[in-house]
Structure 1
Amino acid sequence: MAVRLIENASHTGSWNMAVDESLLESTADSQTATLRFYQWSEPTLSLGYFQKYADRWTHEESRESACVRRASGGGAIMHDLELTYSYCVPTADPRSTSVTSLFDLFHQSLIDTLADLGVTASICGNPQKHASGDPFLCFQRRSSVDVIVDGYKICGSAQRRGKGAVLQHGSILLARSAKAPQLPGIADLASTVIDPNELQNVWLPNLSSVLGVNFEIGGLTESETLLAAETEKSRFASPDWTEKK
């Protein structure tokens, strides 16, 4: 099966989230999967869909950073020194029907990729729950499918299901951000500096193998770009959306 690949580029948080939503809709229409890698043009805090906007002020280090609200759930993520991926796949793909199947495939292939780069990582397994409730930051939370290095979470993913397609996106912490000093990245934990483009390029063959697909480099279509621009304006760049909860 052919999957369109959109290679790593840096954009604002509102544009990144709008593109993911646009790809979710176009995937449902075209029944063709897309894998996109991206970064963030400035340190950006993304709130999970159900989080309260006011809670962002409880995290002092990110107060001056840009802020967006994701369409997927989970805790807040400080996007800075990382590589982010998104994968949109039709619900006709049998792996999209399982809640964890795509998580497992992406996370295990990431573990294999990090091993190729000299970093030992593993699946979290059965984490202990926080007695006081979930922390504000996603990377201080744990789920059984998260990827950890030396006990610290370095990759987590979330999904959004639309009519006819599933969006999964996730972040890989490459190094500690000054905007979230509580969270060490791979460079801090394994003393290994990994370039985002290097990670993308080493990861792709492993993803191709576990997903059973061939990647074909492409870009957004004109209709996807127009939809993303409309969605960014009406939702992800709008205070009404960001501060709605």
Structure 2
Amino acid sequence: MAVRLIENASHTGSWNMAVDESLLESTADSGRPTLRFYQWSAPTLSLGYFQKYADRWSHLESSDAACVRRASGGGAIMHDVELTYSYCVPTADPRSTSVTGLFDIFHQSLIRALAAFGVAATICGKPQKHPDGDPFLCFKRRSSVDLIIDGYKVCGSAQRRGRGAVLQHGSILLGKSVKAPQLPGIAELASKQIEPNELQKVWASDLSDALGLNFEVGELTAAEISLAAETEKSRFASPDWTEKK
């Protein structure tokens, strides 16, 4: 089966989130999965859907960064020195019905991709609960499917289920951001500088085998761009959405 691959490009946080939502809608309509890689044109803090906007001021280092609210849950992510991916797949795909099925496929594939660069990462397994509750930053939290290096989280993913399709997106922390200096990335933990485009290339190749799919490089359709523009304006670029909680 041919799956559309949208290659890495940098955009604003509000546009990135709007495109992911647009792809969720179009996947439900077309039945065709899409894998997308992207980065952020400026350091951007994304809040999990259920987080309180006021809590962003508790993290001083990111207080002057752009801020968006994701449609998926989890903790806040400082998007800066990283590669982000999203994968939209119809709910008819049996791998989308399991709570951790797609997480496992993508994270195990990423482990193999990182190994090609000489980086050894592992699945977290059974994390200990934080004694003071969930930290504000997602990369300070742990779930059983997260990728870690020397105890530090370097990749986490989240899902949002829509009408007839599932969106999974996640961040790979390639290096430390000045906006979140408490979070080391692969560059600091493994002494490896990995370029986002190089990681995309190796990872997509492994994912093709892991998913049993062929990727064909493509672009957003005119209808997807139009829907993303509407969604960005009404939701992800709107203070009413970002500060709603």
TM-score normalised according to structure 1 size: 1.00
Cα distance in structure 2, aligned partners of 1:87 and 1:204:
11
1:15 maps to which residue?
15
**Deviation digits for residues 76-96 of structure 1 (CA, Å, limit 9, x no counterpart):** 000000000000000010000
2:203 maps to which residue?
203
2:93 maps to which residue?
93
Structure 1 residue ranges (4+ consecutive) displaced by more than 4 angstroms after TM superposition: none
2:36 maps to which residue?
36
Cα distance in structure 2, aligned partners of 1:18 and 1:12:
10
**Deviation digits for residues 89-137 of structure 1 (CA, Å, limit 9, x no counterpart):** 0001000000100000000000011011100000000000011100000
- Using the TM superposition, give the Cα deviation of residue 52 of structure 1 relative to its aligned residue in structure 2, in angstroms: 0.1
- Using the TM superposition, give the Cα deviation of residue 205 of structure 1 relative to its aligned residue in structure 2, in angstroms: 1.2
How do 1:190-229 and structure 2 match up within 5 A? 190-229=190-229
- Using the TM superposition, give the Cα deviation of residue 150 of structure 1 relative to its aligned residue in structure 2, in angstroms: 1.1
User: Aligned partner of 1:83: which letter?
Assistant: L
How do 1:158-237 and structure 2 match up within 5 A? 158-237=158-237
1:52 maps to which residue?
52
**Deviation digits for residues 55-81 of structure 1 (CA, Å, limit 9, x no counterpart):** 000000000000000000000000000
User: Aligned partner of 2:125: which letter?
Assistant: G
TM-score normalised according to structure 2 size: 1.00
Cα distance in structure 2, aligned partners of 1:131 and 1:184:
22
Cα distance in structure 1, aligned partners of 2:205 and 2:25:
27
Cα distance in structure 2, aligned partners of 1:218 and 1:202:
18
1:77 maps to which residue?
77
- Using the TM superposition, give the Cα deviation of residue 189 of structure 1 relative to its aligned residue in structure 2, in angstroms: 0.2
Cα distance in structure 1, aligned partners of 2:65 and 2:59:
11
Cα distance in structure 1, aligned partners of 2:202 and 2:23:
24
**Deviation digits for residues 140-176 of structure 1 (CA, Å, limit 9, x no counterpart):** 0000000001110000000000010000000000000
Cα distance in structure 1, aligned partners of 2:234 and 2:91:
26
Cα distance in structure 2, aligned partners of 1:16 and 1:159:
15
Cα distance in structure 2, aligned partners of 1:242 and 1:157:
20
1:26 maps to which residue?
26
Cα distance in structure 2, aligned partners of 1:32 and 1:108:
23
Q: Kindly, what percent of the aligned residue pairs are identical? A: 81
Give ranges in structure 2 of 5+ residues lacking alignment: none
Cα distance in structure 2, aligned partners of 1:178 and 1:117:
24
Cα distance in structure 1, aligned partners of 2:96 and 2:190:
33
Q: SS of the counterpart of 2:42?
A: coil
2:105 maps to which residue?
105
Cα distance in structure 1, aligned partners of 2:58 and 2:140:
14
Q: CA RMSD in A?
A: 0.3
Cα distance in structure 2, aligned partners of 1:106 and 1:220:
22
User: Aligned partner of 2:94: which letter?
Assistant: P
1:114 maps to which residue?
114
Cα distance in structure 2, aligned partners of 1:120 and 1:220:
34
1:3 maps to which residue?
3
Q: SS of the counterpart of 2:178?
A: coil
Aligned length: 245
Cα distance in structure 2, aligned partners of 1:17 and 1:205:
25
